[in-house]
Amino acid sequence: MAFHVKFNWQQQSAKLGGWSMNFWSNLADMSVVLTKADELRTALNNVTGAQVICSSFTVSSVTPPRQFENIEKPTSVVAATATTDADYPSTALFLKNFGAGGYSTGQWIRGIPDANISNSGMYNPTSTYSGRMGTVFGILATPSNGWSMYALNKATEEKPITNLALATGIVSCPAHGYGAAGATLTVRIMGFSSPRSVNRVWRITVIDENSFQLSFWHVPVETTVDGNNPVARRQIYIFVPIASSKIIRATSHYTGRPTGLLGGRRKKKQRA
């Protein structure tokens, strides 16, 4: 069994911003995952600004039997100071996780203290903050904690497509190996120059060992089928343990929109 962990965040200010961060655990015991999630929540809280809090987190099983737990974590409001102030969403760090086999995934950490990003938008942590972020890295990369990336399996084989019936949405894909007739699953289709709209992720139903039906098919405007060796690839996600993490990008309200604006274009410079 594996679990999805979602941390729910709030910015306690006039902006009333809210967002979430998603992580995955490959541990089998829900009670252990709850403990590990609370440990990570605390570490993440320590790298955000004074007004930013994780108000709750939810843990739910990815595979049956269904398990779900929502943990409320009320936090008292902390008075903002010049060194701990933060802005959501513009003040943020992009965390990159790495695992064996060349797997990697990204994660934004929003609402970090302004003092750790230079006015040019570079990550420039104080010594104290660097240590706090190191704690997050250590928790994610410790195997016994179970933190993993939920990534598309790179080893999944591409299956050649020999025909697409425009009128019905039936795809000829010899020896696809997607199961017995009636099986439903998800595949990505690639390589069609006409109709190009077919190049996306589809829910399919297996007809036989050599063909399948695209669900919710609509007859396209194009009247010809053409492509450069089109293929179908089953979308199978696997859990890859996180081996290391690092910050690869930073953003700051000094380098983006004017302070206090959550959206819209920058103001144009006025001529004298």
Residue range(s) defining the domain that contains residue 225: 158-235
**Within a domain: 272:** no
Identify whether residues 110 and 162 lie together within a single domain.
no
CA pair distance 83, 271, nearest whole angstrom: 35
Residue 146 region by backbone torsions, left for phi larger than 0, else alpha for psi between -120 and 50, else beta: left
From 51-60, 199-208, 217-226, the region with the lowest mean pLDDT: 51-60
Q: Is the peptide bond before 125 cis (omega within 30 degrees of 0)?
A: no
Pick from 135, 137, 128, 54: nearest CA to 84:
128
pLDDT given for residue 259 in this prediction: 41
Bridge-partner residues for 231, per DSSP? 160, 190
The model's confidence at residue 206, banded by pLDDT at 50, 70 and 90, is very high
End-to-end CA gap in the chain: 65
Cβ proximity of 105 and 23 under 8 Å: no
Supply the mean pLDDT for the chain.
87
**Within a domain: 145:** yes
Identify whether residues 139 and 219 lie together within a single domain.
no
Put the strands of the sheet holding 147-152 in their side by side order: 68-72, 52-61, 3-11, 18-25, 147-152, 237-241
Identify whether residues 222 and 245 lie together within a single domain.
no
**Within a domain: 162:** yes
Pairing of strands 68-72, 92-99: unpaired
Identify whether residues 144 and 164 lie together within a single domain.
no
CA pair distance 266, 150, nearest whole angstrom: 36
Please write the tens of the pLDDT for every residue from 180-194.
Answer: 999 999 999 999 999
Please write the tens of the pLDDT for every residue from 51-76.
Answer: 788 889 999 999 877 888 999 875 54
pTM of the model: 0.81
Please write the tens of the pLDDT for every residue from 75-123.
Answer: 544 444 445 667 666 788 999 999 999 999 999 998 888 888 887 778 8
Whether the per-residue pLDDT at 177 is higher than 60: the answer is yes
Identify whether residues 60 and 9 lie together within a single domain.
yes
E strand or H helix at 8: strand 3-11
Identify whether residues 166 and 79 lie together within a single domain.
no
**Within a domain: 57:** yes
Cβ proximity of 21 and 97 under 8 Å: no
Q: How many domains does the chain have?
A: 2
Please write the tens of the pLDDT for every residue from 133-167.
Answer: 999 999 999 999 999 999 999 999 999 999 999 99
